[in-house]
Each structure stands twice: as structure tokens, then as C-alpha cells.
Amino acid sequence: MDMETSIQYLPGVGPRRAQLLESELGVRTVGDLLHTYPFRYIDRSSITPIAEVYPDLAQVQVRATVMKVRLFAKNGAELPPDKLKYNMVARMSVIAADNTGEIELVFFKGVKWMHERLKPGSTFVFFGKPAVFNNHLNIVHPEVDAPDNFVTGVLSGVYTSTEKLKNGGVTGKVMLKMIGSALEGVLPTLRETLPDYVLREKGLVPLNYALRQIHFPQDQEALSKASYRLKFEELFLLQLSLLKQKYIRSRSAQGLKMPRVGEAFNICYKSLPYDLTGAQKRVIKEIREDMMSGHQMNRLLQGDVGSGKTMVAVLSSLIAVGNGYQACIMAPTEVLAQQHYANVSRYLAPTGVRVELLTGNTGTKARREIHAGLQDGSVGVLIGTHALIEDTVQFHALGLAVIDEQHRFGVEQRARLWAKGFAGVHPHVLVMTATPIPRTLAMTLYGDLDVSVIDEMPPGRKPVQTICVGENKRHAMHNFIRDEIAKGRQAFIVYPLIFENEKLDYKNLELGYEEIVKAFPMPQYKVAIVHGRQTPQEKAFNMDAFAAGRANILVSTTVIEVGVDVPNASVMVIESAERFGLSQLHQLRGRVGRGAERSYCILMKGQKVSKESKKRLDLLCATENGFELAEEDMKMRGPGDLEGTQQSGLPITLSIASLAKDGLILSDARAYAQLILDKDPGLVLPINAPLAAELRRDKYTVHDYSQIS
């Protein structure tokens, strides 16, 4: 038997259970089974006598015998145990006792399965959070384990299960048995996956020890060592794979060599109305070094909203121009492209570099002229939406492609930009994002890109005071906006637009707009409105009115989320704030606090706000640090759900390590992987043969995402 053997050959498994395990847990081979780790351990030494259970304990484990089981309908009436229809049951109450006292266990879901299982007289181990309800101690939806799972050692693993598995006879006990025989079968001949020197230098326990202890720990210490070894290995191999990819590319991918800074750069730099922040200077230096190196640049620039990424894009573009190449900046929306165009034109005015704007709405004649200018090289910098990746757009010599708000673009769109190189050489690529990605996640998602971070705000940025209020404060909110307008300020009012119910969303927006117009009547007040159903002209007209200060209030959908800059605006009201994600809320808030003395973000929450949404809103009120919010968001929701990363396409399937919790191990693993690759970039040395072999496995086959991100 080895790790590739099908689990159906394990004693007691057979084809039927094997199929069940594959469809329910994706476990096909003995190796899959051994890499399915317990998500929790029952510590037999920590059974709490019921008399010592208090509601303020976080979680307890009691060992108790079922005394009485009762089922209740929705209206509270007790249901007779005979003639039972489970779909009528709203709640199941179980009284269980040990020799010190009684406790109630309550189930609202999965009642059928529990009812059949929790027969009076049988004993179980219940695990959960104790609470008090009507003066009675209870645990709602405890985990239930048969006490005979307590056969091996003090700590006993609890595995993910499903109703189907349980019904198919694959109980926790059977799972442990299968794993036990799998271990016996493979451990004697198990090949160690990490080289000896890695185990030694990193103080890791051998694989066979780790696998045995993770499933059947002899004590807490052995378990910690086993878990550390497996987490390290998983993250280390992933980083090794990503970084190796990067090495291969940086040695093979020829890049356009841009040795000069150029005159345009210097002129622009000198005429800037402000000093660059230290972070901006550092990032520009990193980019310059990449562009000078002769290797193709693939850099991700992360910077919180308002950190000044545009300036970095402008100066980088001028490096390309100064070396006889062209640059383009692609923005996700028309509004944003226009704003970039306005800003960039202003910055470039003293340099004489020609800037053009190309979007889906550029007229035929203008388009023809721009195309000509791109081909003869007279257009230095092209700004646009995805219109600029169309095949008809041909550059004379594209040297740099900047992609703003990269998560808004699809993989294919980015690939097409990449293909517009010069003489068969890809342009340098700079992708910018204001969606702060936690460091650990960035290391994994973009592990093969270089990452620059602007971690410093331009001076003068004022903190934004954030509050969360309900409907009863709507009047006060209007009054507050009136006060701000009286001070000469402006306000944003944003409505959610969630495509599942577009009609309703627009209705909300329209009603909201009417309400605002009523509360802020002409001619004293002027209210502009921007949303996705307007023509580009209408949109531009309204945006301009607000940007130029002709309108006091801008009512909009989230089209203003990215980029838009109106320093005079001091209030951001977000309607139905609970419907937005954390990082989206943060982006919206970033629209204010750019100029006014004091700025405010008012989160209007609806009637029904889930616990989780409440937590999100509270967090937003508590901090303005985008990275902190992203870290917290990831902890709350898990990395797979993180906004802006679903689209990135890199599936992260880690079986034991957690990007949210194992950041330190990840950093260590990455640094160590780097060290090994510095000495042996191709992993061709005999001592690294085990690593090369591991990287050939599917799990660590990382596609070259840098080419498309």
C-alpha cells in the first residue's frame, strides 16, 4: 500500500463507502485520507462535570446520558412522539445528566438525525457554548460525539462529516479506524517529502511522525509539533512553487530596457504642486529599477485609497516616454478614466507630452486621430477604459501598461493588454489596487509578482469620523448635511447596487433621490445624480457639476467607489450600509477626508442587520487603516471570500494551514524558500530532489498568473 492506493482497498471500506468519501470529502486515495486532518480534538482530560458548567464559559465538554427528549412545534406546543412528522418540528429539547447535574441541549436543525441518535439511556460527549435560557442551563446545537471515540490517547481527532457520510456508516469512529489502517499500511515505507537539511534547519519533525501525531496525538506537545510541520510544509512548498516561477520568468522574460529617466520626468517632477511622500518616492525608485534592469517588470502596487497611486502611474509612464516608448493607463470605469485624463493632462502640461483619452464613447473622428497618433508615436500616454485593449488599437512602441484597480478587470482583458508589446517583447506591467490585500494573502495570490506598498498618506489627510445610525436619525442626518453645506462643503449619498435585484435597487435610488431633492429644495440646494443607466454625457454632466462645486450633493450608486476625487466633499452617507462589503465601505469612505477640515462618514443601517454585518460596521467605525480592515475581514470570512480576490483566479486550497492565522509561518516559509532558490533556482541539486518531486504534484502547480494579472 502507498499514498496513491485507492481507499476502497482499506479494510472495511469497499467501493460504496469509497465513492461516498470521494463525493462528500474529495477523498480518493490513501494519501487524500491521511491529509484530511481533524478540525478539532476532544480532550478527554477536560470533561467538565455539569455542576461546574457556567454560562460565561466559552465552551465546555460534558459527558452525559440522555434522560428525556421532547419535540416542539413552531407555536410551542409539544408534539406527540408517535405519528411524528419531522417537518413540523421547530425545536428539539434534550435533557441529559451526569452524576453532578442536568443540562438541556437544544436543536433547531438536523432534528431527524439527532432524534434518531439521542435515545434516552445512551451516553454522549457534548461540546458547545453554555448559555442560560429561562433560568435553565443549555447548549444550543452542541457537537455530539459517541464516547467510544475516546479509545485512542487523551486527545481524539474530530473530522469533518456530513449527513450522507453518517447515514452511509462513515461515523467518526469508522473514520478513525480507516485512518488507523491507512497509517499502518503506508508509514513503514513512507517517503519523506522534505530534504533532511530542511528538517534540521527548520527544526521540523519527520513526516511519518507528523502524520501519526496529527491523527492520533499522544499529547498536546506532539500535536503542536506535528501541526507545525504540516503547516510549514504546505506553505513552504506553495511559496517555493510561486517563487520558482518568478525566477524562471525573470531570467527568461526579456524586458524593454529603459536606462534613462528622461526630461519629461524631471520637468513633471519639478512642477509638482506638492512633495512626494517617502512611500511614493520609494515605490517610484523600485519601479525605475525594474524598468532599467532589462527584465520585464510585473509589479503590484498596493496603496490605500487616497495614498497617491496616480502620481506613481504618471511618473512611471514618463520613464517609458523618456526612453522613446509609450505608456497606457487603463481604468475600470468611464468616470474614472475621465478623471485620470483630466489629472494627467494637468500634470503633463509643462512637459509637452501628448495625452489622449480613449473610451467606448470616443467619437469616430477623434478615435481615428488617436489611432494615428498611437501608430506614429506622437501620443505619449494613452488613458482609457477597456476600449484601449481592442485589437484596432495599435501602439508604435508600448513600453508600460498600468492597470488601475486591477481587481475590476477580467483575466482575459489583462492578457490582451500584455500582448500589445513592442517587437515581440511584452510591455512592463504595473497593476495598482486600493483593495488592501493582507500581506499573507498577497504573498500567496501574487507570490510571483513583486509587490510595492504605499503605506503612507499624503500630508493633510484628515481622519474621517465614522458613525453608524438607524432610520430614526435620518432627520438629524439631513440637518447635519445642511450645516456642512452652509460651511461650503459637499456631500455624497451612496445607494447600494446589487445586481441580483437591479430593479429594486434603482427604485431605492430613485426614491432616495426624490427624498433628498425634497429635503434639499432648489434653488437653495442643487443635487446631482449619477448611476449606471445614464448616458455617458449625463453622467459626465452630473459628475462635473459636483466636482466643480455647482452641486452640493451627489446622489449615486457605487460608480463613485473607485478613484473619484472631490476634495471639498466632507460627508459620505452610505445607505443600507449593511449590504456593502467591508472593503467596499472603506473605499467609499476614502472619497472624503481629502481636503475639508473635518470629514464624516455616516453609515445608515436598515432594520434587519445580521450579527456579522453589525460586526463589519462596528469595525469600520473603529479603524481607518485599510490593511487592518482587510486582515480582520479575512479572519471573519476566510480568505476565499475576500472581496476583490475571488476574481483573481488562484484557487487556494490549503488542507491545514490558514492564511488568516498562520501569517508568521508563511513569512518564514517564504523567506526560507527564497534562500533555497537563491542557491538552486532550478531545484536541480540532488539534495533538493524531493522538493522538485513535490512541486510536480497538482496541488503546487501554479499557473503563471503574472502574465495575466
Binding residues (CB under 5 A) for Mg ion: these are: 563
Q: Check binding of 276 to ligand ADP (CB under 6 A).
A: yes
Q: Rounded CA gap, 500 and 504, in Å? A: 9
Measured from the CB atom, the residue of 563 and 593 that comes closer to Mg ion is 563
By CB under 6 A, which span of 308-316, 320-328, 485-493, 523-531 interacts with ligand ADP?
A: 308-316
Q: What are phi and psi of 212, to 5 degrees?
A: -65, -45
Q: What does the angle CA 206 – CA 209 – CA 215 come to, to the nearest 5 degrees? A: 135
Q: Which three cell numbers, joined as nine digits, stand for 190? A: 513512507
Measured from the CB atom, the residue of 5 and 568 that comes closer to ligand ADP is 568
How distant is the alpha carbon of residue 465 from its chain centre? 25
Smallest gap from residue 275 Cβ to ligand ADP (A): 6
The radius of gyration computed from the CA coordinates of the chain, to the nearest angstrom, equals 30
The answer to whether 68 and 95 are in contact (CB under 8 A) is: yes
Measured from the CB atom, the residue of 428 and 594 that comes closer to ligand ADP is 594
Q: For residue 228, count other CB atoms closer than 10 A to its CB.
A: 18
Q: Rounded CA gap, 148 and 44, in Å? A: 11
Q: Rounded CA gap, 626 and 325, in Å? A: 35
By CB under 6 A, which span of 102-110, 238-246, 270-278, 539-547 interacts with ligand ADP?
A: 270-278
Smallest gap from residue 331 Cβ to ligand ADP (A): 10
Measured from the CB atom, the residue of 62 and 348 that comes closer to ligand ADP is 348
Q: Which of 287, 382, 372 is nearest to 327 (CA)?
A: 382
Binding mask of the shown chain, residues 541 to 570, with x at each position contacting ligand ADP by CB under 6 A: ----------------------x-x-----
DSSP string, 49-111: PGGG--TTSS-EEEEEEEEEEEEE-TTSPEEPSSS--GGG--EEEEEEEETTEEEEEEESSSH
Smallest gap from residue 598 Cβ to ligand ADP (A): 18
The answer to whether 656 and 231 are in contact (CB under 8 A) is: yes
Q: Check binding of 309 to ligand ADP (CB under 6 A).
A: yes
Measured from the CB atom, the residue of 239 and 558 that comes closer to ligand ADP is 558
Measured from the CB atom, the residue of 93 and 568 that comes closer to Mg ion is 568
Classify strands 298-303 and 450-454 as parallel, antiparallel or unpaired.
Answer: parallel
Residue 31 partner contact from Mg ion, ligand ADP, none using kind-dependent CB cut-offs of 5 to 8 Å: none
Measured from the CB atom, the residue of 185 and 563 that comes closer to Mg ion is 563
Interface residue with ligand ADP, options 195, 458, 496, 581 (CB under 6 A): 458
Q: Check binding of 277 to ligand ADP (CB under 6 A).
A: yes
Residue with cell 489622449: 356
Measured from the CB atom, the residue of 302 and 359 that comes closer to ligand ADP is 302
By CB under 6 A, which span of 78-86, 283-291, 304-312, 326-334 interacts with ligand ADP?
A: 304-312
Q: Check binding of 662 to ligand ADP (CB under 6 A).
A: no
Measured from the CB atom, the residue of 282 and 699 that comes closer to ligand ADP is 282
Q: Check binding of 311 to ligand ADP (CB under 6 A).
A: yes
Q: Check binding of 477 to ligand ADP (CB under 6 A).
A: no
Smallest gap from residue 690 Cβ to Mg ion (A): 45
Q: Check binding of 307 to ligand ADP (CB under 6 A).
A: yes
Interface residue with ligand ADP, options 337, 434, 559, 677 (CB under 6 A): 434
The counts of H helices and E strands in the chain are 23, 23
Smallest gap from residue 395 Cβ to Mg ion (A): 23
Q: Check binding of 280 to ligand ADP (CB under 6 A).
A: yes
Residue 303 partner contact from ligand ADP, Mg ion, none using kind-dependent CB cut-offs of 5 to 8 Å: ligand ADP
Q: Check binding of 306 to ligand ADP (CB under 6 A).
A: yes
Q: What are phi and psi of 432, to 5 degrees?
A: -115, 140
Residue 338 partner contact from ligand ADP, Mg ion, none using kind-dependent CB cut-offs of 5 to 8 Å: none
Helix, strand, coil in percent for the chain, rounding step 5: 45, 20, 35
**Residue count, binding to ligand ADP (CB under 6 A):** 18
Q: Rounded CA gap, 360 and 347, in Å? A: 24
Q: State which residue has the least CB distance to Mg ion.
A: 563
Residue 111 Cα distances to 60, 87, 145, angstroms: 22, 9, 16
Beta partners for residue 125, in sequence order: 63, 145
Residue ranges binding ligand ADP (CB under 6 A): 274-277, 280, 303, 305-311, 434, 458, 563, 565, 594
